[in-house]
């Protein structure tokens, strides 16, 4: 089973930059999107053979997640079920026979870390949520988690220390999440690989220089790790300031 996650930074814009052709070529069993920036129905997304599930922000043109799946889930839940966190369309949980799939678009702490306090509350709530799921069956978590966990996960760690996405507080929350029983699949299989990123600023020709960050993830419950047969980061796929990330499970 092939799963792909991609922050498309506006799905309508991405569809004009090869999104549909990419999906048709890759044919993932499940395709998870973040930062869709649209409500379902604002544009036709003609992916044949897929059921579509959307979780959009109340604010138009902001945030939002979507799941396209060839296999009908047993159940689908939107958001976390916590009013303080359920206005921005950041989480979809699809239940399958032997795992839960959670796609997430983690809040950005923003310039000057002005939203860091909220981000910390979100992190604790999200971790509690997926830990509860994990007591029932294994969990696959994917999406833009807005943090480069280790120095190896971004090009310029020293100059970006305490920037949004690389603050000590955000990195510590990722450490806590992994310690709760989850594995960063790409880093597990590529422990020493440098220079592979999933996001590049649109400024300063960052992608051309590969001055990027690895902030898009597939995490799995530890007991699911032996079913992971492949992980990939598709750095040659354009259409967004992020590139897709991939996992295959047996």
Query: pLDDT tens digits for 38-55?
Result: 999 999 999 999 999 999
Q: How far apart are CA 51 and CA 30, in angstroms?
A: 10
Structure tokens of 8? 């498309």
Q: What is the pLDDT of residue 12?
A: 97
pLDDT band per the 50, 70, 90 thresholds, residue 143: very high
Q: What is the pLDDT of residue 238?
A: 98
- Confirm whether 236 is a catalytic residue: no
Which of 100, 105, 197, 217 is labelled catalytic?
Answer: 105
Q: How many CA atoms lie within 13 A of 96 on its CB side?
A: 16
Per-residue pLDDT tens for 180-220?
A: 999 999 999 999 999 999 999 999 999 999 999 999 999 99
Cα-based torsion angle of the residue sequence 184, 110, 196, 37 in order, rounded to the nearest 10 degrees:
90
Contact in structure between 46 and 20 (CB atoms under 8 Å) = yes
Q: What is the pLDDT of residue 44?
A: 92
Per-residue pLDDT tens for 85-114?
A: 999 999 999 999 999 999 999 999 999 999
Closest CA to 55 of 37, 31, 29: 37
Q: How far apart are CA 89 and CA 39, in angstroms?
A: 10
Per-residue pLDDT tens for 165-175?
A: 999 999 999 99
Burial class (CB in 10 A: 0-12, 13-18, 19+), 40: middle
Contact in structure between 228 and 247 (CB atoms under 8 Å) = yes
Averaged confidence pLDDT in the chain:
98
> Considering the chain, what percentage of its residues have pLDDT values greater than 70?
100
Q: What is the pLDDT of residue 134?
A: 98
- Confirm whether 100 is a catalytic residue: no
Which of 134, 144, 216, 241 is labelled catalytic?
Answer: 144
Q: How far apart are CA 55 and CA 174, in angstroms?
A: 24
Contact in structure between 247 and 218 (CB atoms under 8 Å) = yes
* Cβ atoms < 10 Å from Cβ of 126: 23
């Amino acid at each position: 089973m092939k799963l792909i996650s991609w922050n498309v930074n506006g799905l309508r814009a991405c569809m004009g930059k090869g999104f549909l052709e990419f999906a048709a070529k890759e044919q993932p069993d499940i395709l998870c999107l973040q930062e869709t920036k649209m409500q379902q129905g604002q544009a036709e997304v003609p992916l044949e053979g897929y059921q579509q599930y959307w979780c959009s922000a109340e604010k138009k043109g902001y945030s939002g997640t979507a799941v396209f799946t060839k296999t009908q889930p047993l159940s689908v839940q939107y958001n976390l079920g916590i009013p303080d966190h359920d206005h921005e369309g950041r989480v979809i949980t699809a239940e399958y026979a032997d795992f839960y799939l959670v796609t997430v678009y983690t809040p950005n702490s923003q310039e000057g870390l002005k939203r860091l306090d909220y981000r910390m509350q979100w992190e604790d709530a999200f971790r509690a949520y997926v830990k509860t799921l994990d007591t029932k069956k294994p969990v696959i978590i994917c999406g833009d988690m807005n943090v480069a966990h280790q120095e190896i996960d971004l090009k310029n760690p020293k100059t970006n220390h305490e920037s949004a996405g690389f603050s000590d507080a955000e990195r510590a929350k990722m450490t806590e999440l992994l310690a709760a029983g989850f594995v960063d699949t790409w880093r597990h299989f590529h422990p020493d690989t440098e220079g592979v990123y999933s996001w590049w600023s649109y400024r300063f020709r960052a992608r051309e220089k590969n001055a990027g960050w690895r902030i898009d993830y597939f995490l799995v419950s530890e007991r699911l790790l032996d079913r992971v047969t492949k992980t990939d980061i598709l750095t040659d796929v354009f259409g967004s300031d992020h590139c897709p990330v991939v996992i295959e499970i047996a």
